[in-house]
Amino acid sequence: MSSPVATDTRIRDHVQRLGEKHPPIPLDSADFTMRDPDAVRERFADVLSYMARVEMEVERNVLELAVLLPGSSDVDQTFANDVWGPQEEHHGALLDELGRRIGLPPTEADLDTVSPKIRLLGAIAHIRPVHEVIRLLYYLTGAATERSATIAYQGFSDGLGEMGETAVQRTVIDAIKAQEPGHFAFYRMSATHLVESGALAPWQLSLARFLRSRTFGLVGAGNREQRAEYGALIVQMDLESQIEHHVRDIARVESHLLWAHRQGMKVPTYALKAFREAADLYRERYESSRAPLGVERELVSCS
């Protein structure tokens, strides 16, 4: 059965429902009781350090969006400022507190650096045809990011369940995971509507394909160290064994909207390459070390 047609009204109603039904998770609702914090640290230090940083950096992401898409629609602004932003900030606070409870140092997040690349794109975003291409790339990036997050939180939840750590599994990780699909739906509907409404000319779609294939990146992984951190998530969550399946899931929106003329390009090669390179970089830099990334950072900070 095909998905309902995406329209401005459906997208606006979806954002309104998200705000009403999924307010930010109350920080005092979390139960951080653990049977064996040391075992949780041993298994999830790297993953938790990465995820806490990415969630906390949403404050910078909102700044980037204001630069990247000046004059964005009321619906986009409501989603970013009133729904997604506050929810993600609480996700970051919860994960940071969980990290502290298992002995990790406070999360170091970059909250205000807007990259030169973002500023450059923002400088030309006032040109309407360019603005619409950038908007499509924003939606596609958001969709891929949210699918990545859902997969990561599911693996985190499953691992905690195996360890019998049901309190943090239920009140922290599962509570966060429950809010991610609504974010994905917003980005998917917005991208689909932009393309299927005919708002983009063929040359704009061609430009979007070119830019996406050249600029695809893993969320929160702007340098080699951060890509290695993402690689830790891939390896330690055992995503490598079915990496093509996971990347197909993560990139499914852009596969359909950008690459339908190639029968959907089920697994975009640029996305698969990024995930595999991150896993390789993690092994190259950290797997031979006894200390996980989170532990290593604490040792460095104490030296």
Residues 88-142: pLDDT tens digits?
A: 999 999 999 999 999 999 999 999 999 888 999 889 998 999 999 999 999 999 9
Taking the CA atoms of residue 275, residue 52, residue 151 and residue 132 in that order, the dihedral angle to the nearest 10 degrees is: -70
- In the chain, how many domains are there? 1
pTM to 2 decimals?
Answer: 0.90
Flag whether 29 is in a domain: yes
262 versus 16: the higher-pLDDT residue is 16
| Chain mean position to CA 226 | 14
- Give pLDDT, residue 260: 75
Residue 60 lies in a domain: yes
Is 61 among the domain residues?
Answer: yes
Q: What are phi and psi of 30, to 5 degrees?
A: -80, 140
Distances (CA, A) of 49 to 12, 42, 158, 233, 288: 34, 12, 18, 10, 19
- Low-confidence winner among 16-20, 32-36, 118-122 (lowest mean pLDDT): 118-122
Are 15 and 138 in contact, with CB atoms under 8 Å apart?
Answer: no
294 belongs to a structural domain: no
Q: Is the dihedral of CA 113, 118, 123, 125 positive or negative?
A: negative
Tell me 109's DSSP state. Answer: -
Domain that holds residue 103: 8-286
295 lies in some domain: no
pLDDT higher than threshold 70 for residue 257: yes
Is 12 contained in some domain? yes
Residues 229/96/82/193 CA torsion (nearest 10 deg): 30
Asked if the structure places residue 293 within a domain, the reply is no
Percentage with pLDDT > 70 across the chain: 91
Mean pLDDT of 69-80: 93
Please report, for the domain that includes residue 238, its CATH number.
1.10.620
- What confidence tier does 288 reach under pLDDT thresholds 50, 70, 90? low
Q: Would you state the pLDDT for residue 166? A: 98
Query: Is residue 253 situated within a structural domain?
Result: yes
pLDDT grade, residue 292 (50/70/90)? low
Length of the chain: 303
Tell me the average pLDDT across 16-20.
96
Could you report the per-residue pLDDT of 185-233, keeping only the tens digit for each? 999 999 999 999 999 999 999 999 999 999 999 999 989 999 999 999 9
